[in-house]
Every structure is written in C-alpha cells, then in structure tokens.
Amino acid sequence: MTDSNAPRTFVLTLGCPDRTGIVAAISGFIAEIGGWITEAAYHSDATSGWFFTRQAVRADSVQLPIDEIRARFAAVAAELGPATDWRLTDTGETKSVVLLVSKDSHCLTDLLSRAERGELPAQISAVVGNHLDLEPLTTRFGVPFHHVSFPAGDPDGKTAAFEQLRQIVDTHAPEAIVLARFMQILPPDLCAAWQGRAINIHHSFLPSFIGARPYHQAFDRGVKLIGATCHYVTADLDAGPIIEQDVGRISHEQTPTDMVRQGRDIETLVLSRGVRWHLEDRVLVHGRKTVVFA
Amino acid sequence: MTDSNAPRTFVLTLGCPDRTGIVAAISGFIAEIGGWITEAAYHSDATSGWFFTRQAVRADSVQLPIDEIRARFAAVAAELGPATDWRLTDTGETKSVVLLVSKDSHCLTDLLSRAERGELPAQISAVVGNHLDLEPLTTRFGVPFHHVSFPAGDPDGKTAAFEQLRQIVDTHAPEAIVLARFMQILPPDLCAAWQGRAINIHHSFLPSFIGARPYHQAFDRGVKLIGATCHYVTADLDAGPIIEQDVGRISHEQTPTDMVRQGRDIETLVLSRGVRWHLEDRVLVHGRKTVVFA
Amino acid sequence: MTDSNAPRTFVLTLGCPDRTGIVAAISGFIAEIGGWITEAAYHSDATSGWFFTRQAVRADSVQLPIDEIRARFAAVAAELGPATDWRLTDTGETKSVVLLVSKDSHCLTDLLSRAERGELPAQISAVVGNHLDLEPLTTRFGVPFHHVSFPAGDPDGKTAAFEQLRQIVDTHAPEAIVLARFMQILPPDLCAAWQGRAINIHHSFLPSFIGARPYHQAFDRGVKLIGATCHYVTADLDAGPIIEQDVGRISHEQTPTDMVRQGRDIETLVLSRGVRWHLEDRVLVHGRKTVVFA
Amino acid sequence: MTDSNAPRTFVLTLGCPDRTGIVAAISGFIAEIGGWITEAAYHSDATSGWFFTRQAVRADSVQLPIDEIRARFAAVAAELGPATDWRLTDTGETKSVVLLVSKDSHCLTDLLSRAERGELPAQISAVVGNHLDLEPLTTRFGVPFHHVSFPAGDPDGKTAAFEQLRQIVDTHAPEAIVLARFMQILPPDLCAAWQGRAINIHHSFLPSFIGARPYHQAFDRGVKLIGATCHYVTADLDAGPIIEQDVGRISHEQTPTDMVRQGRDIETLVLSRGVRWHLEDRVLVHGRKTVVFA
C-alpha cells in the first residue's frame, strides 16, 4: 500500500567495526550481482569505531531471488567480522504495524490517514486501546480495534492485561509496535521482547521533562520552545535511542492548554517521520544511539 | 549609537496584579499628555494573576520632560496597587554594557560588531576577561579591555578577583553585564548585586544539559537538535529566567567538535537577541519566568 | 465544538486611521462596561498610517447583551472617523465552514479531525467536491458531501457548476469557504461575493512558483526549501493577501514526488493555522496585506 | 588555518553518467591504495541520469603522493566515460579566497572572523571594495584592502574598473571570489572567467524578489517569512545555481528597516555556510543546479 510510483527495491542495512575496504567489499558484491544502486548512505563513527551503511538496489536489476542474495551476502558479511549486524529486506513484502493508544486521537488519525493514502510502507494490522474512546475512529478506517483494560491499583490485573496485549500484538508479527500516545508504561519483559520495534512519542524535547505532564513542566520552567521526541522503548523510561525530535516556538502568551494543542502538531509530525524511517529501514541502532539515513 | 532612523521614544514597562481598567488607566494617561503610541503590547497571565505591558511613545509627541512624566505617572501606578513595578526610559539616553569573556571569541566579535554598526541601543563600555586572549580583538574595536586573573584552587584569590571584577563593572553602572561565554561562576553576592542585569548564554537547550560540556552530553545522549539558552544569572546555576532559546538540527554525522562549531552560530544569535531585547526594555521578569515583548 | 476549557469571550477587531487617543477611547469604553480584557493586541502601521486592534473580553464580565454593546460601541467607532472598520463577535455563537476539495485528502482529513476534536471554533457544515473521490472520507466524519461536476472544455457547463457551488455554499452562510486543495479557479464574481471569506492553500512559498505544478518548478530551479502559502482568494490568481506561510528543507535527494509528499505536511499545517486564525478573528485585512494577531 | 583538530584528508569529488558498478570501481580503487574513508556521500539523480559522489580519505592512510593518486585515478575515471568530471584535493594545501564588498559590513566581519578563528579552510588573501568604507575593518584583521572605483554613468570607466578588479583577484588564483554584499553586477566576461568560483549572497528567498530592494518588495507583498540565497554567479542575474537558502519569520510589525536588520543575520549565516561548503568541496554543480554533500 506504499507509494505505487516507487519502484520495488532491496534494502541492505549493515553495521560493523570500521576498517578499510568495507565499501569496496559491499559495492563489489552489489556490482557482481548486477545491482543498480538508487540510494547509498555511509557513516563512520570515529568515537565508537563503528561503520554503518544503507543501500537501496532496484529489484528489477538483480536476477536472483532475495534468499539467494542473502545467502551469498552472508559470506561477505562474515569477512567483516563476527560483530557484523546486517539485514536485507524487500519493499515488495508488506510490513505490519500495530498501534497502541489511549484517549488522544491526533497521532492515531494521522497514522491511519497516512497508511490509507500510501505514505507508509506498511499495513496497520490492528489498534489496541486501554480505553474504548478511539474505537469508532479506528473502525472508520477499516482497522480492527482491540480493547484491553488496565485496572488501576491492581498489579496482577495489569500483568494479565500486558499478557493479553502481548498476545494480540504478537499475532501480527509486526515490524513496528507504535505507542501513539499510549499512557501505560510497558513492563521490562515487553520492552525486551519488542526491542528495536517498539516506538514511542514523548511530548517533550528529551532529555528535558521526562515523565508526566511535560507541557506543564515546560510552562513552569518558562522555556521558549516546546518539543517532541520519537524514540525506541527501553526499560529505562524515556531514555531509549532517539529517532527524531522537533520543536516549535512558544511565548509567554501560551498557557499549558495552548501548549498541549500546539504540541499535538509537533508530536504528530515527529512520530510519523520516526515510524516511516523505521519502516523504510533507515534507522540503525547502536548502543543508546541511532544512525538515521533519512 | 543605535539605528539613527529610529525616532527617539519613551518606553514604559509595567507589571501589576491584574484587574479591569488597567489599560484604560494607562492609555488614558498617555492620551492626556498627548503621547503618540508607536508600539503597545499587553499580557494577562491567568496563572499568576499578573498583568504586563510595554508601551513606546514618540518623544516628540509629548511636551513634558521625562522627569515630569515620571512624576505624574507615579500617581497612576499607585492606583494600580503597591506591588506595581514600572519603569520609564528614554531611548535618547545612551545605555552602557560591560562584557565578561574568557577565550571564545564568537559572541564577543558579534556583540562588538553589532554595537559598532548601531544594531544595539547601547555603548559597550568595557570588556573584562579572565584570560588575555581576547584583548587584541577587543581593542581593535576601540573598547577598553581589563584582565582579571582567577587563580584556580585559591578561594581567597578568587574572592579578590570577583571583588576586582565588581569594581570594574560597577564603575560603568551598566544596564547589562553580559557573560559572553565567560567561564567563571558568579558568586551569590554578585548574582544578587547584578540581579536582572547579568545575562548569560548557556550552550544547551536548557533545562537539558546543565553544567559543563553540554555538547558532549548532547552527543552522548544522541539528541537530534542542539540549542542555546540566554538567561538572567541567578545563584542557582543555569536556572535563571530564560530570555531566549533556539536550536539547530544535527545528525549522526556531527562529532562533538562539529557541534561546538555549529553551536557557536546558535549561541551568537540567541545571545544577541536576548541582549538587544533586554536593552530595548522588552523583557519583564516575574518570578522565575520572563515576558518578552519582542 | 471548540475547546470547552476556553471561556466564552467577545472579540472586538477594529481598523482605522491612526492618531493619538484611540487606545484610550477603546479601553475606556471596555472599562466602562466592566469588561475584563484577556487578550489585547495593537498595531500601528507607519507606512499606511493605519491602526489595528483586536481585544478579547470575558463574556461573563459584562452584563450587557452583545447587541447592546454593539450599539454603544458604534458611537465610539464613529468618533474614530468614517473609514473605521470594526466587528464584535461572540465565541459562544457557532460559526460555519464549508470546504471545497478535489482529490487530495490530506488537508480535508486534517480539518475534519481538528473540527471533530474541538480545535477549530467552528462546525464544518458541508464539503463540496468536483470529484467523488473524497465522499467516503467526508461522510465517515458525519459531514454531508456534495458533488458538483465541472465539465472540462465546456464554459457554459462550468458557469452552471459554479452557480451550483455558490448555492450550496451560500445556504450555510459560512464564516469561511476553504479551498482545501480545490483544483478549480474561482471566477471573479465568486471571488467578489466571498471576499475576505474564501481561503486557499497554494503549494509554494508565494510569490515564487505561481500557478500549476509548483513542486516541479521548485525542483527545476533547485531551491533548498519548499513552502506553502495560505491566502485569501482574489480575482488575481495566487496574489491575494497572505495569511500564513511556512517552509521545509529539502536537498538534492528529493524528487518532485518526494516534494509532493513532504509538501503535504507543510500545506496541512499552514492551512490549518490560517483557517483557525481567521475563525478566531485574528486576521485583519488592509489592502493587499494582512495583520495577524496570532 | 582550518580546525587543527581535523586530520588532513584527500577529497575526491566526481560526477558522471549513472550506471551500475561506479561505487565498486571507486571504492575498489580507494581500498587498493589503502585509503581509510572518513566520509562518503553518493547521489543518483534519476531525472538527469547523473551520478555524484564525494569521498574523504585520511591522508595518513595512503602512502602515495597526491599527484601519483591523481595519475592512477585518471584511469578509473576514464572508464566511467568521457563526460566524467572529477577532482582530488588535499586539505593540507591552503586555499585562497578574495572578498568583494561595498558598504555593508555584516558579511565581511563574519567571514573575516571565521577565517581568523579557523572555521574556514582557507586564507582570505584580499578584500576589494568599490567604496572605502570597509577598509578600516578589513585592515584590523590584517587583510589587505584594495579600492576600485566604479564611476556611475561611465561605461568605459566601469569596464576599466572591472578589468582592474579582475587583475587584483586573479593575482591570488582564488578558490572562491565571494560577493559579500557587493553592489556591482559582474559583466558576462568575468562571470565566465570565474564560473563555479564566484559566489553571491542575494537578500531574498530566490526566485522571489529578484533585483533591487528585495526587502521592500517583500514588505509590499506581505510575505510572512524573509530569506536569503547563496548562489554561484552567472551572467543571468540572480539565476545561478543555488548553494544554500534560509528564511526567518516576520510579521506585520516589521518595517522594511526591521527586515534589513533581521535579514542581515540570515544573509550572514547563509553566505558563510555556502562559502564553507564550497571550500570543503561539498558543492557539485550540474547544469543550473547543485548537489550539496553538507
């Protein structure tokens, strides 16, 4: 359901310890199989001594099936060392996304609309809410809505609810689990199970204003810009690898209520960019940080 | 030395508890003395219940001397309650600014250049450095440079140095004491003496990355924007009322060294805006926050 | 359907030839009727010699009905001269908006969503499309959709279609007629009839790239930023008074197709801001230009 | 005089008709000579069918002298076709820049300051002014100033003046001739002689507001953002390939005089970025457009 004008491509992402000859090895391999490179990005991180690349190759330029390419490339990767982390995906294979929501509709509407008009290279398979408020909006877009209740002050009930959530989500084997203003904190086991796939939007310019009511914190501090942060979820609250951030200017005239409204537009854009880049395999995680080949 | 095209104006700033009729009282007074208002800004803060205004009146529209206007307006202000805080200044009177510097030249060069080409409504009376590095640059612009040495690890020596600094600065009765990348922390007594006049530039988007080496902190956290903050100095480090902030986009490609370079441009602009607004009486402080009628 | 936290207010907007005493006259009147001013903005335009103001007064602070206030204020306005143009509205009265669309859904979805969650102080009464594509999306939000066919190459048919459009629109006496990527050029008589109420979004940073396919024009010229412009519709194509503009950064990597996608986000935000400001009586038109008290 | 922390590198830039195997050929060559790639950027332009790359290699990773590398690489380039355009430079060789100025000091001060503190990988060899105003500022920075008078209304005198200008400039064989708010239009023969090296800053967001007094044009049109454009000079006024652009927000409150002041900051930043990128061999020109590997 992605942009039908975009030609089908194979996307290779790779991270490995840096040394000379890596680009030659990879591009030599691609040339050998006749691959026409349409996008290529590289990054050498001097601090960590790590090398990163993303390459997009027109699928119609290569005669081999993707599994064969993967098998052959494994040998190239092996030469780059045992720590090498790589992946080869096919934009022709539909990816699945599951959204987690609570009561705020702005990110949900935006992602459903983008998916519907082909801006996201994925299908939204399901929406799970801990409230029923967003069921009507979701079903209008023809997407199934699941309600999971999280009983306040009942640890066992919460544990059961998260287990139920996990089962619904895992059914779809999603490429991304997007916390689109989902107001429950994922337990460590879910953070671990969904590592590198669970994406959150926090409504502040992290690391400022971690936790609850960040716009009220921003108002109290008197900052002149407010922001939003899209990041991978980790067990360490609001501290996962950052994918994207943006800010908007405010002044003394904005109340916290005004900031909430203005902030919605920033959150919406930042989350949509982060999710799209993730789905297009543009985000490579290394430790607490990301390389984003946007 | 300000823009010679700008007509001379009287600038009134006022803060008081909010209630009905304040604007009528002030504008009635201005109309009564024949004042032609060229700029008028108002702000009602619902949270604090405080009212703020700034009004600029063409000096040539009023026949009274400024002291007479002040004397008459005192009666209006008195009616607005004992907490009323107001000020009436004349853009025809030259304001004095003192700059405090260490080794980084970008903010110093920028402020000296702006003052020289008439962009700041003030004269830079002196530059004080805790190193000698910036003496040649300063004197090129015809501004006196004073060197005050701050001996590391010698508390008594430091106290004496701050006393020497205070004397040099206070000689000029400056409207603003600008810490243009000055790398010494002002002691509480100087913070108190210069309250509302000492302006600092911090090279991060506060409240993120307080203290030392903020670009390295930003690099380690993997943020996607870096920023700078211009704020009034208080005894609470990097926590004074914020005047202005701005940010610039970075990516995985920037090293801390790149951030330092890119950050200079942000620091320079943010500080110059903050200083100009302060000198134009556009910044009203209330508690930990500012109202900026930019 | 607007933000239920916002208290009901009376909004006064006024433009008149500048002179001394205007603010005193207006604020004196407001104080006299006991009005509590929550927002006040003023602008003196030295070039045109015109004065502009917008004032918001809490409705519950005034005991008079709005018609009585209007009647009394007419006397104040009369003293400000015969060219004085003023208006007093009540945020408690629901405003109506009609949207005109073609095939692109992004602005439509955005405006329907904002209206639904109470971000626009108005009700979207109807959507009129010259194609049927957007009917399902519109009706999902419970808004009536009207299809008006504009036969290509048939001047009489087009004239009839515009007449049909006018009748549908005028039924709702809308406060705003929003051309949300409507791909027909309004004839001069409709521009005249809807003057100051018809709002368009053009997908370039005007005055660059007037007319068709602006992103392709931008690509050919090799600009480094693309933009969008929200403006009032006049008979002079893409030359009406500008309400709002914004831009986004592009690089050599963006194809025209990428720009179209990226541009949608800019168009959406710029149009939504322009429409909201118009509905909140924040936009005052004077000649070819606007004063926006945002 | 560039950043002493930056290691010496060889920079290869290349443009050629796109086809498979180019990256493999280039990176194979670099691997062969033992080159450690620190930066690599690629761009395939589908519209023009052209391929662009820029690669930075640590000088200390290669044992060959640069002339030997050039000689060997010529064979690789030859295989990429006769239209291939390439260049190999050494950041250890100091580049020369000449600045052309009139009366406005902001861009001049900025470039002199950046060069002095090592932010530009070049030496400013000379400043040429058609007025004497900026001589004192220039000489303060230890840079020679040349005055060339352009007699108004005297075509022969102007021709002679441009000839004098050409001789002064060409003496330095500069890598860049920067028109830092130089208010004379270069004649076609100079545009041709300095093609790809003459860089101008225009004080509008081109293609809007070509020619004289762009801020006044912007004021009259009522735009909400003003901008600046850094571009290569061609015989077609303000229409050369764009290197960089940026904008700043304005409102109804800004007069043309305010825009001139605010615009200076935008012009300064945009020009400094454009010049730095040019000097770092990050700008590849193709037809009327640029690829900027920033």
| Contact criterion met (CB < 8 Å) for C30 and B38 | no
Model confidence at B46, pLDDT cuts 50, 70, 90, reads confident
A159: tokens are 């544990």
Interface of D with C in 4-43 (CB under 8 A): 43
d(CA C61, CA C46) in angstroms, rounded, equals 34
Q: What is the reported pLDDT for C6?
A: 74
pLDDT above 60 (res A15): yes
Q: Which of A5-19, A171-185, B17-31 is the most confident on average?
A: A171-185
Rounded to the nearest 10 degrees, what angle do helices B66-79 and B22-32 cross at?
150
Say yes or no: D45 contacts chain B, CB-CB below 8 A: no
Nearest to B40 among C21, C23, C31 (CB): C23
Average the pLDDT over C36-40 and give the result.
Answer: 89
More confident residue, A37 or D70: D70
Percentage of chain A exceeding pLDDT 70: 98
Q: What is the mean pLDDT of residues C204-227?
A: 95
- The residue among A107, A105, A109, A127 whose CA lies nearest residue A172 is A127
Across chain B, mean pLDDT equals 95
Contact A262, A271 (CB under 8 A): no
Integer Cα distance of C135 and B91 in angstroms: 60
Query: Which residue matches tokens 């606007």?
Result: C290
What are residue A33's DSSP bridge partners?
A: none
- Per-residue confidence band for D237, with pLDDT thresholds at 50, 70 and 90: confident
What is the C-alpha separation between D94 and D176, in angstroms, rounded? Answer: 12
Q: How many DSSP H helices and E strands does chain A contain?
A: 8, 13
pLDDT single digits (tens) A193-205: 999 999 999 999 9
Q: Do the chains contact at B109 and D106, CB–CB below 8 Å?
A: no
- Which candidate from D5, D113, D257 shows the least CB-CB separation from B109? D113
**Confidence (pLDDT) at A84:** 97
pLDDT at residue D1 in the model? 35
Tokens representing B186 are: 């002002």
Across the interface, do B257 and D5 touch by the CB < 8 Å criterion? yes
Please state, rounded to an integer, the average pLDDT across all residues of chain D.
95
Find the Cα–Cα–Cα–Cα dihedral B220, B224, B226, B227, rounded to 10°. Answer: -130
pLDDT for B3 beyond 60: no
Name the band, by pLDDT with cuts 50, 70 and 90, for residue C284: very high
Partner residue facing B140 (CB), from D5, D140, D257 = D140
Residue type (1 letter), D223 = V
Query: At which residue do the structure tokens 């297009």 appear?
Result: A280
The Cβ-side half-sphere exposure at B211, using a 13 Å CA radius, reads 1
Q: Would the pLDDT of C1 be above 50?
A: no
Give the pLDDT band of residue C5 (cuts 50, 70, 90). low
Counts for chain D of helices (H) and strands (E), in that order: 8, 13
End-to-end CA separation in angstroms for chain D: 21
CA distance A248 to A262: 8
Q: Over 70: is that where the pLDDT of B2 sits?
A: no
pLDDT of residue B86: 98
Chain position carrying tokens 């005192």: B74
Which listed CATH number (3.40.50.300, 3.30.70.260, 3.40.50.1980, 2.115.10.20) goes with A9-90? Answer: 3.30.70.260
pLDDT of residue D38: 87
ipTM of the complex: 0.94
Q: In Å, how far are A246, D23, D77 from D70, measured between CA atoms?
A: 44, 18, 10
Supply angle C-alpha C56, C58, C63, rounded to 5. 125
Q: Residue A5: its pLDDT value, please? A: 60
Q: Mutate one of A265, A270, A273, A292 to test the C interface: name it (highest C CB count within 10 A).
A: A265
- Residue B4: pLDDT over 80: no
Report DSSP state, residue B186.
Answer: P
Residue C259 is predicted with a pLDDT of: 96
CA distances from D119 to A108, B103, D110, D124, D228 (A): 45, 16, 11, 12, 21
pLDDT at B264: 98
pLDDT at A185: 95
In sequence order, the β-bridge partners of residue D85 are D15
Locus of tokens 């590592």: A195
Predicted model pTM = 0.96
The CATH H-level superfamily of B96-292 is Formyl transferase, N-terminal domain (3.40.50.170)
Mean of the per-residue pLDDT values of chain A: 95
Q: Is A170 a catalytic residue?
A: no
Structure tokens at A53: 């690349």
The Cα–Cα gap between C195 and D237 comes to 37
Same fold, D9-90 and D96-292: no
Residue B123 pLDDT exceeds 90: yes
Least confident of A221-230, C5-14, C81-90: C5-14
Residue-by-residue DSSP string for B111-177: HHHHHHTT-SSSEEEEEEESSSTTHHHHHHTT--EEE----TT-HHHHHHHHHHHHHHHHHT--SEE
Q: Alpha-carbon torsion C172, C175, C177, C178, what sign? A: negative
Residue type, position D15, single letter = G
| Phi, psi at D103, each rounded to 5° | -120, -25
Dist. CA B261–CA A160, nearest whole Å: 52
Is the confidence at residue A2, as pLDDT, over 80? no
Between residues A173 and C37, the one the model is more confident about: A173
Q: How confident is the model at residue B5, as a pLDDT?
A: 60
- C103 touching A (Cβ < 8 Å): no
pLDDT at A1 (0 to 100): 35
The SS3 call for residue C26 is: helix
Residue range A217-221: mean pLDDT, rounded? 95
Residues of C forming the active site: 238
- CA-nearest of D191, D195, D209, D196 to D245 is D209
User: In D, which residues are within 8 Å of A39 by CB distance?
Assistant: 42, 44
Could you tell me the sign of the dihedral formed by the alpha carbons of C139, C140, C143, C148, in that order?
negative
State the pLDDT at residue A237.
86
Question: Taking a C-beta distance cutoff of 8 angstroms, is the pair A221, B260 a contact?
Answer: no
Which secondary-structure segment (H or E) carries B253?
none
Percent of chain D with pLDDT strictly greater than 70: 98
Q: Is A265 on the interface with C (CB under 8 A)?
A: yes
In chain A, which residue's Cα lies nearest the Cα of D31? A21
The verdict on a CB contact (< 8 Å) between B34 and C20 is yes
Residues 6+ apart with CB under 8 A from D49: D17, D18
Evaluate if residue A182 carries a pLDDT over 50: yes
Burial of D235 (0-12, 13-18, 19+ CB in 10 A): middle
Q: Is the pLDDT of residue A4 over 60?
A: no
Kindly state the tokens that stand for A273: 């960019």
pLDDT for the residue B1: 35
The whole-number pLDDT of residue D5 equals: 59
Task: Give tens-digit pLDDT for A248-284.
Answer: 999 999 999 999 999 999 999 999 999 999 999 999 9
Which chain B residues touch A247 with a CB distance below 8 Å? 225, 247
From the number of C-beta atoms within 10 Å of its C-beta (0-12, 13-18, 19+), residue C225 rates as buried
Sequence ranges of the domains in chain D:
9-90, 96-292
